[in-house]
Chain A
Amino acid sequence: MRKHLTKILPLLLIALACDPEPVLLEQGQVIADGDHTGVYVLSEGLFNQNNSTLAWIDFGTGQPDSWASGTGRSPDCFEKVNGRRIGDTANDLLLYGNRLYIAVSESSTIEILDAATCSSLKQIPLNRNGIASQPRRITATAGFVYVCCFDGTVTRIDTLTMQADATITVGRNPDGICCANGKLYVSNSGGLDTQNPDNTVSVIDMNTFTETKRITVRSNPGSIYADGTNVYVVSRGIFDYGTMDYDSRLHRIDTKTDEVTATYNIPILNMDIVDGKAWFYGYGAGGTIQIMDLKTGQILDSDFITDGTRVECPYAIKLEPTTRKVYVCDALDYVTPGSLLCFSPEGRLLYRVQSIGINPNTVAFCDNKVTLTQYQGEPKIIGDINRVFRYMPAPGQFVNLLPKYEQGDDASSMNDKCLKALQSGNMITLGGFGGYITAGFNTTVHNLEGPDFRIDGNAYNGNAEPGVVWVSADENGNGLPDDTWYEIWGSEQKEGRATYGYGITYSKPTASDGDSPWTGSDGQTGSITHNTFHSQPYYPEWYAGESVSFTATLLPDNVTYQDGIYVMSSFGYGYVDNLPNSPENSAFDIDWAVNPDGTPAGLGSIDFIKIQNGVIGCNSTTGELSTEVSAIYNLNPKAE
């Protein structure tokens, strides 16, 4: 007996001690999907338990990043990387640009993360008069993220400044937001008045960011989806005490007329649209996934899952638009960590990731390579500069915002702000053509084989705002950049397409929201125009002069208009904010430094750097081209 006990006891103990671990249904299975590197899955946790989590499933390894599994908790790459937790009831996740935006309802914050590292770039608390706004849903378009909040507001976040720059009032308790046809649509649920819910959808003009219309629908509209020129909204109606249930409908709104053009008697909880068809799950269907034709309201498939897989409580649905694989989150019983299920387009279960998080509610595909680094105490200083000697931007729409000018700031305090921004990986702007920054490395950069230093900006494909780099070595050893400067020649100088020593003078606008006219040394004129997206003055406010002049290397115009959109093409190499950040794209070689006559300068090392906007470009959608810098790295702090 004793013998048996000793055998059984450890087993029992293991069984008791075993907490659910995130596992795949079949280990080592290849789960690649399209060009994606993996998926982020947001789990809201349990109401008022502070336990929202973010899981990352890497398609390369076929496994979730299970950092938290040592604690037995659901995987949470947010806590792993940031050393703190997301908060309470994270409601929505959006991957836009290279960033993740999370709406945390009960904690009333928006978290902005770098999608490639999961590192929190900014936490924006959303409050009005000290009352939590409770952000619910997120959408994004044209460089702005829009969040609808349960306190009856929509807040706009500038993705570049990462600041909530405007808030407008809509109907009661908005519970859904989407954008279509240049407009925002917000469903006003009014759900906090159970007997008298709201019954409208707000239409918001994105350019003026004002509400232009309210479309009347059935009571209690909730989830809202855009599909081309149509918007679909689920209206749940008023609770019926006869059936003890809601009586839900789906409305179709034509965004050309902003009228309800069809109403389907299909009770939908959530759906995802691809090619005019909706994959959805509804009320009372016991977890059945169905497919409907949104044009006709006809059910095309009343049970999408063909292999008998049971979804206890579907909580999110997301299609990969090209491969048509269907991702479904199962919340199980709302308290147990739920699962992510991936189905083939034919409805066969491909794999299941268990214990992904409590109440998983959003799936986002990621195309970046994701590297998750465990939090190591206080945020370390990013980059390798420790001095900013001069920051002199030309007028531009982010000037006085990146970094932020505050009453009383002078050139010296703006330098400090720039240094702080660059050391924490935050963006600074150089404004229009000629604007520049001069900074010093904390240790000498040695000229070794291959790249020697790296400068990050915010370029992505079709949005290059190239800046020219100058370098200097501390020849006299006084620690000041009063030595010879050498220009780094990139592809355009090399190919003879640049104009050297181009002079430009900007005049201070007469009104704070006025345009800044400029005159070039060749007589060309133009203007940095004030737009509706950024309302602050564009002329550097700490600069006393009535006009400001720059001399710089002018690169060719890189703006073209193609198929209705402006494209700002990248140059070959050798510029800041020219290509998406990467070890290759952002790298510079000291060997590229030249004497004024274009001959190699032959520098052994450098200590100072100057970055200057090299393009005079402008387009009517996003305004003038301005070089942005976020970090500067010394790749060779040691001489071999």
Chain B
Amino acid sequence: MTFDVKYCLITICTLCFQLEAQGQVLSDTMRTKDIQEVTVTSDRTTNPTSVSTTRKADTRLMQATSTLQISDVLKYFSGATVKDYGGVGGLKTVSVRGLGASHTAVAYDGIIITDNQTGQIDLGKFSGSQAESVRMVSGPDNDLLQPAALAAQAAVISISTGRPNLQDGRPKYSAQLKSGSYKTQSIQAESTFNAGLRNTVSLQGEWLKTEGNYPYTQNNGASSLEMRRDNSDVQRLRIEGAMFSDIGNNSTLTTRAYWFQSEQGLPANILYNENAARERLWNRNGFIQSTLTTAVSQRFTLRFNAKYGITYTRYLDPKVSNTQGRTDNRYTEQEGYLSAVAFYRIADCLSASFGADGRISYLDGNGAEQAQPTRYTLNSTAAIKYASERLTVTGRLNHVATKEKTRLRQAAQSYNHLSPTAGVNWLAWSAAGLHLRASFSNTFRLPTFNDLYFEQIGRRDLRPEQASVTSAGIVIDNEIGNVSYSIYADAYNSNVKDRIMAVPGKNTAVWMMKNIGQVTTHGLETGLELHAQDGTVRPALLVSYTYQRSMDKSDSNSSTWNHQLPYTPRHSASAVTWIETPYINASCNLLYSGEYFCNGYNGPEYRMPSYYEIGCSVWRTFTSHLLEVTLKAEIINLTDNRYELVRNYPMPGIQARSSVTITL
């Protein structure tokens, strides 16, 4: 291999680390009552009236799936492909419908979290205990109050912290201690109280520490070794505070301040004979944001969001054979965000909205080659919705305009892009609770700062990557006696055009980013849910299956033509079951992934075997008039199945965890 090619590969590898090294600008907004939506209060993870496929996990499902990190529960969502580098600190990204992880937006309490540097959000950085629910929508959302930036996304994962509801105005305090294998410990404390008549304040803090030095097997025939993960420690601290205010005139205001910081090691790619891991990663992320919702009249509602966030990332490899003897990359990304949405009910069944988001993002780094880009983004959206008892139709037009500025050399071109989405949901057979739904979305993702400006590889002339998805499905949502059930099946066809990829340039030794890829995916997402509605013994069962055939359609002469996208199993499935009784609650969960490839070329060298993982847990809540105590024990990967999800990044084997939660 020539030096340059190797260097490029190293650089691409570095880019991967910087995916890990990304910081999140967590954002948040107030959650007001869903004025426009018929609130669905059932246990079901799927929403039968949605025009798109939706999945939602509440605290119970997160309990049943032993969710430590948000990414854990997402693995049980049909249609979500989670790429996991293993352990608490390993990067976890989610792609939906073969579109690639950068087409999946993540929203924290309704506002998009952006990472302009890598375009990917590490969902492992969100703790399961900070969310009241996690919802995934693959396609257009019914919600007309959605800000413009979110409306323009192919898929959105929304993490909701929930609005506290204090009974009789009594303050609420809770604390949780968790302890698990490989020296995993976490402490969480929360207090919620009223401040005056109209304000509720919620404060939350969480600290997590793990050694993560789990054993793994390095398979190399006669020289196979039993090893332990090294440099896999993680320490994280999160503090957030929110104030929910009723400010009169049918207006509510939520203000949230958020602080997250972490230090972790990056366990190495396990190469034969050479496993030394030294790299370290630090993240600091803080933001403050506000959401104001005001119902001007019965028909007219306005929502404003504002946010300022700063993310600091440091990546250190203390032993590199360069002049400094190390690689020490530091990045600071800052963001200012303003958003407004106006909602107007034209008639009983017909409403419309218009929204606009402005954002300034600035990235600074310590290297001499840092372009220091500033991106100005203006998202606008116009939507219309018809919603009767049996029929929901939505249509939306999104527009994005960007402008960029750089300190070093020329900036990327400005983008100006229109993209429509539309959806329909029809209650075809009311007695059976049978809905038919269909949606179409045309969305895009902007080139990331790395795509555009990364030294040597980045190219300024990239266009946005475009995705279009057509989906149609059926949902049956009904009850038989005490048992509610839902069955869903959605088939879709998706296309990614102008996919941004690293390819060798004219000089084969110089790699570059290029709009070269095209991917077509045919898929099916299907599942069944059963919930006992009441009674002292309440069982529940969730089963899902996903089929994805993601074909590379970039170049019919290429060796990868029609090959399956890497890390995309054709078949995957999951099952969760739990039972609630007055004495004890118990759950069992199963994940299965069929074989897949770790490279776009589906050669046998790159074949990854299928795997499964089984877990279970038991918990019980003891209640007295003073306090409530919940004890929980979990076993993850019960069969100690050793597998790699990402090639050469082993996943942990069997683990145990226990927790105690006290609520006053």
Contacts and interface: CB of A to CB of B under 8 A. Distances in A.
A561 interface: no
How many chain A residues sit at the interface, stated as a range, is 35 or more
Given A73-B604, A175-B3, A192-B322, A334 B504 contact: yes
A337 B272 contact: no
B2 to A, nearest CB: 6
Interface string B7-36: 101100100000000000000000000000
Interface in A118-162: 123, 125, 130-132, 134, 150-152
Nearest to A236: B4
Interface centre among A45, A270, A333 (most CB of B within 10 A): A333
Contact of A333 (B2, B220, B560, B648): B560
Contact of A195 (B5, B368, B560): B368
B445 to A, nearest CB: 23
Contacts of A375: 221-222
B510 interface: yes
Interface string A345-378: 0000000000000110100000000000001011
A382 to B, nearest CB: 17
Interface stretch (A104-112, A258-266, A319-327, A415-423): A104-112
A332 B559 contact: yes
Contact of A246 (B9, B321, B507): B507
A283 B507 contact: yes
A627 B459 CA distance: 64
Contact of B271 (A87, A241, A283, A377): A87
A173 B321 contact: yes
A238 B273 CA distance: 33
A46 interface: yes
Interface stretch (B244-252, B283-291, B412-420, B595-603): B595-603
B503 to A, nearest CB: 9
B241 to A, nearest CB: 42
A193 B323 contact: yes
Nearest to A220: B3
B506 interface: yes
Nearest to A136: B3
Contacts, number: 173
A48 interface: yes
Given A88-B271, A191-B3, A192-B320, A49 B648 contact: yes
Contact of A46 (B3, B409, B504, B599): B599
Contacts of B319: 131
B273 A107 contact: yes
B323 A172 contact: yes
Contacts of B512: 244
A330 to B, nearest CB: 12
A194 B603 contact: no
Contacts of A193: 322-323
Interface centre among A79, A87, A223 (most CB of B within 10 A): A87
Nearest to A68: B604
B505 interface: yes
A267 B6 CA distance: 18
B328 interface: no
B558 interface: yes
B226 interface: no
Interface in A7-56: 19-20, 44-51
A434 to B, nearest CB: 41
A87 B272 contact: yes
A109 B558 CA distance: 34
B269 interface: yes
Given A20-B603, A47-B13, A50-B648, A245 B3 contact: no
Given A47-B13, A50-B272, A189 B3 contact: yes
Interface in A187-242: 189-196, 220, 222-223, 236, 239, 241
B623 interface: no
B605 A49 contact: yes
A84 B222 contact: yes
A578 interface: no
Interface string B625-647: 00000000000000000000001
Given A194-B456, A283-B507, A48 B269 contact: yes
A620 interface: no
Given A131-B276, A193-B322, A335 B509 contact: no
A19 B603 contact: yes
A47 B509 contact: no
A443 B269 CA distance: 49
Contacts of B603: 19-20, 72-73, 335-337, 358
A85 B271 CA distance: 11
Interface in B297-327: 319-323
A74 to B, nearest CB: 7
B563 to A, nearest CB: 10
Contacts of B506: 245, 284
B222 A150 contact: no
B42 interface: no
A46 B598 CA distance: 11
A130 B230 CA distance: 14
A623 to B, nearest CB: 33
Contacts of A125: 273-274
Interface in B491-518: 504-510, 512
Contacts of B10: 47
Contacts of B223: 83-84
A336 B507 contact: no
A194 B369 contact: yes
Interface string A306-336: 0000000101000000000000000011111
Q: Which 3 A-B pairs have the closest CB atoms?
A: A72-B604, A83-B222, A192-B322
13 contacts: A47-B9, A49-B647, A72-B604, A130-B276, A132-B274, A134-B321, A152-B321, A222-B3, A246-B507, A283-B507, A283-B508, A333-B559, A335-B603
Given A49-B606, A84-B220, A239-B456, 13 more contacts: A44-B1, A46-B605, A48-B13, A49-B599, A105-B6, A132-B276, A172-B321, A172-B322, A222-B2, A236-B3, A245-B510, A375-B222, A378-B222
Interface of A: 19-20, 44-51, 71-74, 79, 82-89, 91, 104-109, 123, 125, 130-132, 134, 150-152, 172-173, 175, 189-196, 220, 222-223, 236, 239, 241, 244-246, 267, 269-270, 283-284, 313, 315, 332-337, 358-359, 361, 375, 377-378
Interface of B: 1-7, 9-10, 13, 220-223, 269, 271-274, 276, 319-323, 368-369, 409, 455-456, 459, 504-510, 512, 558-560, 598-601, 603-607, 647-648
